[in-house]
Structure 1
Amino acid sequence: MTQETKHTAVGTGADVLRALHHGRAAGDPLVLPGPWDAASARVFADAGFPALATPSAGISASLGYEDGEGTPPDEMFGAIRRIARAVDVPVTADVEAGYGLPAAELVERLLEAGAAGCNLEDTDPATGALVEPARQADRLAAVRAAAGSALVLNARVDTYLRGERTPAAAVERGLLYAAAGADCVYPILAPTTHLTTIAEALAVPVNALCRPGTPSPWELGALGVTRVTFGGTLHTEALESVRSIASALTR
């Protein structure tokens, strides 16, 4: 498939997932739990969540790897495929920085795995530094051109991880990424005091990370956030339950 090849998504999971981002009331964000395998995906889907968002950290840990490009792409896409196959709701996949794959190949592999969307971050895994914003926007535009409407594209902004930790820096990148075709912008680790400013400045939905000690998903929604995800938190909490079970068995 060439980079210019377009995929259509009439009535597909991408359509459903994209629609879930719009028309939401304040305080009612799209809450997307992060399954790390098929069994956890079924649990979340059976609980009534309308879509799921795989976390690279949770999947990597479940496969025995460190997060941050340590998981072989074949194993990551295999895990995404098993999760998507296990449920009847759309699944969006965290594919980190895209594993060095050309846009067309990345899109093809996501679609073959059954994903309805993806996260792409703007940290260069080779250097650990932020990708120059215009270059990242070009990358996102290439993914959008290859996918057409068949993927919901969530552009992660890493300025709060390793850049200038200001709303202005996040908004600058977010505007570029939205113009390149991103459906949603994800300023990961943005302080709650910055979220409203960021959300008001962008013309697309904003994703926020919910972790222990941060406001609830609904409180984040009241700040202007449209979508809430959890990274590897839910997998970590599940492991704590397993540790408790293991500890009880050793007494």
Structure 2
Amino acid sequence: MSTLQEKATLFHQSHMKGNPLVLVNVWDAGSAQAIQSAGATAIATGSWSVAAAHGQQDGEAMPFQLVLDNLSRITASVNLPVTIDIEGGYGKFASEVKENVSQVIHHGAVGVNIEDQLTDGIGLYTVEEQCLRLSAAREAADEAGIPLFINARTDVFLQNAPEQHNHTLLEKVLIRSNAYAEAGASGLFVPGLQNPQLIQELCERSSLPVNVMVTSREPLPKQLAELGVARISYGPYPYLQAMEHLKKFGRNILSGS
């Protein structure tokens, strides 16, 4: 793949309902190369993992320039499409989101995650506010001539305990899904949703391909594919597993065993 446009087109085509794109989230160039070597068809960062790997907290605490520098090293080290998680876009206003998305494209990304959770983690942007922000991201992509995959994350489910997930919340998500699609989003990301029945109904009714996040070995991609999921990501799980392995490796060496 020689151009960013080709990578972006391929990345779009990889989102297929019932045959999902599986993304093992990375945090730096080294982890990106490892996942590429494992047979990945695309590379995705996870904001929590990137922040932790740089000694930072999640929640846009990591300076955006450092986010871009890390992205540049990733895109330069692999030949696969790269999508980046920029949390809430690193800006409250649409103009800020537009500028930041322009920078992300300039540094080689063909996809971006933008969430509707407020930066302090309490509450969500209104549907209208988030649509303005997503539209600004689409404008940035159009001006760059790149068919950027905008993965619109909604935290409706994440901000409610799993036992409270029900059809009332599902309807709220569907309202956002439809509005986000009209604003220029390419996909819908619903972290926190684990209920198979609700996942299946969301996949059936959403006009956008659905991304589900897995934070353990279960459910398997095959099971989520049967529910109609188009994209599966693993968030901080790969980083946490790698760090646990590193700690165990270190303990064994330092204890002399």
Question: What TM-score do you get using the length of structure 1 for normalisation?
Answer: 0.90
Tell me whether 59-68 or 209-218 shows the greater mean CA deviation.
209-218
The answer on whether the counterparts of 1:206 and 1:227 sit within 8 Å (CA) in structure 2 is yes
Paired residue secondary structure (2:158): helix
**In the alignment, residue 248 of structure 1 is paired with which amino acid?**
N
Deviations 1:192-241 (A, max 9, x none): 33111111111221000011163112211111100000111101100001
The answer on whether the counterparts of 1:123 and 1:158 sit within 8 Å (CA) in structure 2 is yes
Match of 1:120 in 2: 114
Matched, 1:196 2:200: yes
- Given candidates 202, 208, 212, the residue that maps to 1:208 is 212
How do residues 68-87 of structure 1 correspond to structure 2 at under 5 angstroms? 68-87=59-78
Match of 1:145 in 2: 139
Match of 1:6 in 2: none
The answer on whether the counterparts of 1:35 and 1:55 sit within 8 Å (CA) in structure 2 is yes
Match of 1:185 in 2: 188
**Number of residue equivalences:** 240
The answer on whether the counterparts of 1:138 and 1:180 sit within 8 Å (CA) in structure 2 is yes
Report the Cα offset of residue 47 of structure 1: 1.5
- Given candidates 136, 140, 144, the residue that maps to 2:130 is 136
**In the alignment, residue 151 of structure 2 is paired with which amino acid?**
N
Paired residue secondary structure (1:109): helix
Match of 2:51 in 1: 60
The answer on whether the counterparts of 2:90 and 2:97 sit within 8 Å (CA) in structure 1 is no
Match of 2:9 in 1: 15
Give the whole-Å Cα distance in 2 for the aligned partners of 1:105 and 1:230.
28
Paired residue secondary structure (1:31): strand
The answer on whether the counterparts of 1:124 and 1:130 sit within 8 Å (CA) in structure 2 is yes
Deviations 1:86-128 (A, max 9, x none): 1000010000001116133112210122111100000110462
Seq. identity, %: 32
Match of 1:158 in 2: 155
Match of 1:230 in 2: 234
**In the alignment, residue 173 of structure 1 is paired with which amino acid?**
R
**In the alignment, residue 81 of structure 1 is paired with which amino acid?**
S
Question: Where has structure 1 moved over 3 Å in runs of 4 or more?
Answer: none
Match of 1:173 in 2: 176
Paired residue secondary structure (1:154): strand
Matched, 1:35 2:26: yes
Question: What TM-score do you get using the length of structure 2 for normalisation?
Answer: 0.88
**In the alignment, residue 209 of structure 1 is paired with which amino acid?**
M
Match of 1:3 in 2: none
Paired residue secondary structure (1:67): coil
Give the whole-Å Cα distance in 2 for the aligned partners of 1:213 and 1:11.
34
In structure 1, the gaps of 5 or more residues are: 1-8
Matched, 1:250 2:254: yes
- Give RMSD over aligned pairs: 1.7
Give the whole-Å Cα distance in 2 for the aligned partners of 1:49 and 1:161.
27
Give the whole-Å Cα distance in 2 for the aligned partners of 1:128 and 1:134.
18
Give the whole-Å Cα distance in 2 for the aligned partners of 1:65 and 1:199.
34
The answer on whether the counterparts of 1:130 and 1:162 sit within 8 Å (CA) in structure 2 is no
The answer on whether the counterparts of 1:35 and 1:83 sit within 8 Å (CA) in structure 2 is no
Deviations 1:126-161 (A, max 9, x none): 462111011101210111122124311000010012
Report the Cα offset of residue 75 of structure 1: 0.8
In structure 2, the gaps of 5 or more residues are: none
Give the whole-Å Cα distance in 2 for the aligned partners of 1:140 and 1:104.
9
